[in-house]
A and B are shown apart, each in its own frame.
Chain A
Amino acid sequence: MPTLIDLRRRIKSVKNTQQVTKAMKTVSTAKFKKAQRVIQEGRPYWRGTPALIWDASRWTGGLGHPLLLPREERRVHVIVLTSDKGLCGAFNSNLLARVQEFLDEKSKTAAVRLILIGKKAVHHFRKLAFPVDRAVGDKTDKLEENALRDIARELMRLFLHQETDAVYLAFNEFKSVLSPRLNIKRLIPVVPPELALHHVQPGGIIVPAWEPGPRGVLDALLPRFIEDQLGHAYYESQAAEQAARMMAMDSASRNAGELIHKYFLVMNKIRQAGITKELLEIMTAVEALKK
C-alpha cells in the first residue's frame, strides 16, 4: 500500500506532465492552423495544375518531353520527408516502415540513393546501408523554399543527364486531423495526372495554339510543377506532423487526467481507512476505560 505522501508526490508529478502536454498541444494547434492555411490557400493551384499538365501532355500528343518519359529504373532516388521531433505518435515510424518496405522492394532491381529531410529520417537511415546524397537534419520546420527548389533542380538535372532513372517522394500527406495518409509517389518523370474534365468545351475540345511552341510551354510547365510538388509535399508533411502531435498530446493530457483521477481515488481510500482505523482505536480505548 503506498503511503499518502507518495501518492501526493505522484499526483503532483503527473499534473506537471499534464501541464506540459497541454502546453505542447496548444503550441502545435497554433502551428497546425498556420500550416493548414498554407495548404488551403494553395488548393486552387493544386486543383488546377494537374489538369493543365494533363491537357498539355495530351495536346502535345506524341511530342514527348524528357521529363514525361518513364524509362527502366536502374538507379532510383528517394526523397524521404519526416519531422525533426518526436512526440507525435506514429507519424514518423509508420512512414519509415513504409519507406523501408518500398526500398527493399526497389533495391532488388535498382540502385537506390536517398535524400533525407528531417532529423528522424536521418537518424533512421544512419545505420542502414543505403547511400545518402543529401541530408537535412536540422531546423527542418524552417526550411527555405529555395532549399527545396535546389533539391528539385538537382534531381531534375540528374534525371536529364541519365544519372538517375526515377525520383520518388515519400511523405505524410495531410488528409484529416485524425490520421495522415502515407504517400509514396513518383516525382520524376512526371506521372500524367488523372483525367480532369474541368473545361470540356461544348462542341469538342479546342486544341489551343502554343506560345512559344508546345515544347517551350512544357519546358516552362514541367520543371516548375516538379519543384512545386516538392514544396507542396513539404507543407503537407508539416501540417500532418502538427496534427499528429496535436492528437498525441491531447490523448497524453487525457491519460494524465485519468491517472490523476485514479490516484485521487486511492488516496481518498487510504485517508478514509486511516480515519476509520483511528476512530476504531478511540472507541476501543473508551470502551476499555469504561470497564
Chain B
Amino acid sequence: MSPDKPLCLHLHVVTPRRLLVDTMVDEARIPGLEGQIGILPGHRPLMLALGRGPIVFRKGTDEETFEVEGGTAEILPDRVLVFTALPE
C-alpha cells in the first residue's frame, strides 16, 4: 500500500429517483456480476457492472445493508460511486 493511502471511502449510492447514500465509510461490499466485492480505501480504480444483491457498508462497527439491482459502480481509491436501482 502506498503511504498516502486514503483513510476512508466516500460512498455515493444514487438511483434515478433518489440519492440513497452519501457518506464516509470504512469499507463497502458491492454485488458485482461475478460475486460480492469488498472495497477498502485505496482500492485500485475499477469499473464494475452490478448484479442483484445487498450493498453493505461499514462505518467503525456499524454496518448497514440494503438491496440493489443492476447498474454500475465506479471505484476510485478514495470514493465509490454506485449508479443503481432498487429492486421492484
- Select one of A55, A201, A231 contacting B16, CB under 8 A: A231
A210 contacts B by Cβ under 8 Å: yes
C-alpha spacing A221/B18, complex, angstroms: 18
Q: Contact between B83 and A49 (Cβ–Cβ < 8 Å)?
A: yes
Nearest CB of chain B from residue A91's CB, rounded to whole Å: 24
Q: Contact between B12 and A44 (Cβ–Cβ < 8 Å)?
A: yes
B6 contacts A by Cβ under 8 Å: no
Q: Which of B11-38 contact A (CB under 8 A)?
A: 12, 14-19, 22, 32-34, 37
The bracket for how many chain A residues form the interface is 20 to 34
Number of B interface residues, CB 8 Å?
A: 30
Chain B residues, Cβ within 8 Å of A146:
88
Q: Contact between B17 and A41 (Cβ–Cβ < 8 Å)?
A: yes
Q: Contact between B49 and A217 (Cβ–Cβ < 8 Å)?
A: yes
Chain B residues, Cβ within 8 Å of A231:
16
Nearest CB of chain B from residue A4's CB, rounded to whole Å: 58
C-alpha spacing A231/B85, complex, angstroms: 13
Nearest CB of chain B from residue A190's CB, rounded to whole Å: 14
C-alpha spacing A212/B79, complex, angstroms: 20
Q: Contact between B48 and A211 (Cβ–Cβ < 8 Å)?
A: yes
By secondary structure, the A interface counts as helix
- Select one of B16, B75, B76 contacting A232, CB under 8 A: B16
Q: Contact between A212 and B70 (Cβ–Cβ < 8 Å)?
A: no
C-alpha spacing A219/B72, complex, angstroms: 10
C-alpha spacing A55/B74, complex, angstroms: 10
Q: Contact between A220 and B50 (Cβ–Cβ < 8 Å)?
A: yes
Knowing A52-B81, A211-B34, A217-B72, say if A44 contacts B19 (CB, 8 Å).
Answer: yes
C-alpha spacing A219/B51, complex, angstroms: 12
Q: Which residue of A lies closest to B74 (CB)?
A: A52
Q: Contact between A211 and B47 (Cβ–Cβ < 8 Å)?
A: yes
25 contacts between A and B (CB under 8 A): A41-B17, A41-B19, A44-B14, A45-B15, A45-B17, A48-B12, A48-B83, A49-B83, A56-B72, A207-B45, A208-B44, A208-B74, A209-B46, A209-B47, A211-B46, A211-B49, A216-B49, A217-B72, A220-B33, A220-B49, A220-B72, A221-B49, A221-B71, A228-B16, A231-B16
Given known contacts A41-B18, A208-B46, A208-B76, what 17 new A-B pairs fall within 8 Å (CB)?
Answer: A41-B17, A42-B16, A42-B17, A44-B22, A46-B16, A48-B14, A52-B81, A52-B83, A208-B44, A210-B47, A210-B48, A211-B33, A212-B33, A212-B34, A219-B49, A221-B83, A224-B85
